[in-house]
């Protein structure tokens, strides 16, 4: 073996050390790793930095399956994932002893003319008196508001608990360990990564690419196949703290703005939508505009103080739909050929709904890896759909 190269795999190449390697330890990646571990698979998960410290940590945490601003194509996936949330949170609690509380249970949705809720959404129109009771001082601006039975949680609670749950479940979680390349080896995948010993590697039967807004590494033998076209969309948010007796326990949402209570007088206001590459800096003018618009909708926030501000990078595909399932991609420059690799999977591009859709995505990927039929149609989410549409 060459100096500086270290192989971790146990056994022969026909017996990989892991059944599955997850590349990317955000919530989607770790939720899938937990589902696979629960099914009895040996799982390793890699992240280039600390687990769940990109889009997962930066989100507002709304479980907004019935948000009228969502693309209709994600409704089935979102509702399916929402149905799995109680068992997902219960498993985290069982593994760690940490309970992740729901911070809100009701959303007041402003409905401009022409906006409609998804079919089957349970919503109740609200009178002005009811609105003032739920959010004292709310300025509707002439919009009708409806009440949605919708929950939210604090992603920071997940950030603390989910990596701990992964380790407790026996997942080999390797943070600050970027994957350098992937190669095929006797039908399996050899994962090369940096380690204190130099370049190390291990062998896995399945590989899941869950790299969020970052380009997914493809196995060497697939070149010149194209990775899924997912890119970052920057969102700036601000946390405000409000003292005094006037408070609200409901999410307030209108097009382009939301106010999410986190309890103890704290409210998260968001968010911008920017095509700014991987820049995660905040901009005072944009933060001030968020605060101004939030106070115009709910005037008590005019008296709040800024507690924090941050920016996250949402992973967005060209059609704003997730990329899920078996890897498939037309070859670069080809018109009728496609690249496919057995046991190579993708789960990325969840855009605004990664927190919501993580448990459903995890169950779908577990079903696929175990050879079972998922409960949700994956046709809208195929990884090869973009280049296929362009040829």
**Helix/strand/coil for 236:** strand
Among 82-96, 143-157, 195-209, 314-328, name the one with the lowest average pLDDT: 195-209
Q: What is the pTM of this model?
A: 0.93
Statement: residue 388 has pLDDT above 70:
no
Is the same domain home to 325 and 212? yes
- Give residue 315's pLDDT: 97
For residue 381, give the nearest of 339, 340, 346, 356 by alpha carbon.
346
Could you read off the pLDDT of 328-382 as tens digits, one per residue? 865 544 444 455 578 999 999 999 999 999 999 999 999 999 999 999 999 999 9
Is the same domain home to 260 and 371? no
Domain that holds residue 365: 5-57+159-229+318-390
Is the same domain home to 288 and 358? no
- Give residue 196's pLDDT: 74
Q: Decide if 14 contacts 190 (C-beta within 8 A).
A: no
Residues 6+ apart with CB under 8 A from 128: 140
Is the same domain home to 216 and 361? yes
Among 140-154, 198-212, 216-230, 287-301, name the one with the lowest average pLDDT: 216-230
Could you read off the pLDDT of 236-277 as tens digits, one per residue? 999 999 999 999 999 999 999 999 999 999 999 999 999 999
Categorize the per-residue pLDDT at 163 as very low, low, confident or very high, splitting at 50, 70 and 90. Answer: very high
Peptide bond between residue 113 and the one before it cis (omega within 30 degrees of 0): no
Report the CATH number at residue 37.
3.50.50.60
Extended strands (E) in the chain: 5-7, 18-23, 43-46, 102-104, 107-110, 123-125, 145-148, 152-153, 172-174, 179-185, 188-195, 198-209, 231-241, 251-254, 257-263, 266-270, 305-316, 323-330, 338-348
Residues 6+ apart with CB under 8 A from 177: 46, 47, 48, 193, 194, 195
Could you read off the pLDDT of 179-194 as tens digits, one per residue? 999 999 988 999 999 8
Is the same domain home to 293 and 384? no
Average pLDDT over residues 84-90: 98
- Give residue 3's pLDDT: 38
Is the same domain home to 298 and 182? no
CA distance 278 to 285: 19
**Helix/strand/coil for 208:** strand
Could you read off the pLDDT of 26-78 as tens digits, one per residue? 999 999 999 999 999 999 999 999 999 999 999 999 999 999 999 999 999 99
How does strand 198-209 pair with strand 188-195?
antiparallel
Among 1-15, 178-192, 375-389, name the one with the lowest average pLDDT: 1-15
Is the same domain home to 237 and 380? no
Q: How many CB atoms lie under 10 A from the CB of residue 197?
A: 10
CA distance 199 to 204: 17
Is the same domain home to 167 and 297? no
């Amino acid at each position: 073996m060459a100096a500086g190269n270290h192989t971790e795999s146990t056994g022969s190449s026909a017996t990989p050390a892991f059944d599955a390697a997850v590349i990317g330890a955000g919530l989607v990646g770790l939720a899938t790793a937990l589902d696979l571990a629960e099914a009895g698979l040996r799982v390793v998960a890699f992240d280039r930095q600390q687990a769940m410290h990109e889009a997962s940590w930066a989100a507002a945490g709304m479980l907004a399956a019935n948000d009228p601003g969502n693309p209709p194509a994600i409704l089935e996936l979102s509702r399916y994932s929402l149905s799995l949330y109680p068992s997902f949170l219960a498993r985290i609690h069982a593994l760690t002893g940490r309970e992740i509380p729901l911070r809100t249970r009701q959303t007041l949705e402003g409905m401009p003319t022409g906006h409609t809720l998804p079919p089957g959404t349970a919503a109740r129109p609200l009178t002005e008196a009811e609105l003032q009771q739920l959010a004292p001082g709310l300025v509707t601006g002439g919009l009708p508001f409806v009440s949605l039975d919708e929950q939210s949680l604090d992603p920071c609670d997940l950030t603390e608990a989910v990596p701990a749950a992964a380790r407790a479940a026996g997942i080999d979680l390797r943070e600050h360990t970027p994957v350098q390349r992937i190669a095929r080896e006797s039908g399996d995948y050899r994962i090369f990564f940096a380690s204190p010993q130099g370049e190390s590697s291990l062998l896995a039967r399945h590989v899941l690419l869950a790299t969020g807004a970052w380009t997914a590494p493809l196995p060497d033998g697939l070149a010149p196949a194209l990775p899924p076209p997912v890119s970052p969309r920057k969102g700036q948010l601000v946390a405000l703290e409000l003292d005094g007796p006037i408070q609200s326990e409901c999410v307030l949402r209108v097009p382009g703005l939301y106010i999410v209570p986190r309890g103890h007088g704290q409210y998260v206001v968001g968010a911008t939508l920017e095509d700014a590459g991987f820049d995660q800096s905040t901009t005072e003018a944009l933060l001030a505009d968020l605060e101004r618009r939030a106070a115009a909708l709910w005037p008590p926030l005019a008296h709040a103080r800024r507690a924090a501000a941050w920016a996250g990078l949402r992973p967005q595909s060209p059609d704003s739909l997730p990329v899920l399932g078996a890897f498939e991609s037309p070859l670069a420059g080809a018109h009728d050929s496609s690249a496919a690799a057995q046991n190579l999977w993708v789960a990325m591009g969840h855009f605004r709904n990664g927190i919501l859709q993580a448990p459903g995505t995890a169950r779908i990927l577990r079903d696929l890896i175990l050879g079972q039929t998922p409960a949700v149609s994956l046709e809208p989410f195929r990884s090869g759909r973009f280049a296929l549409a362009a040829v």
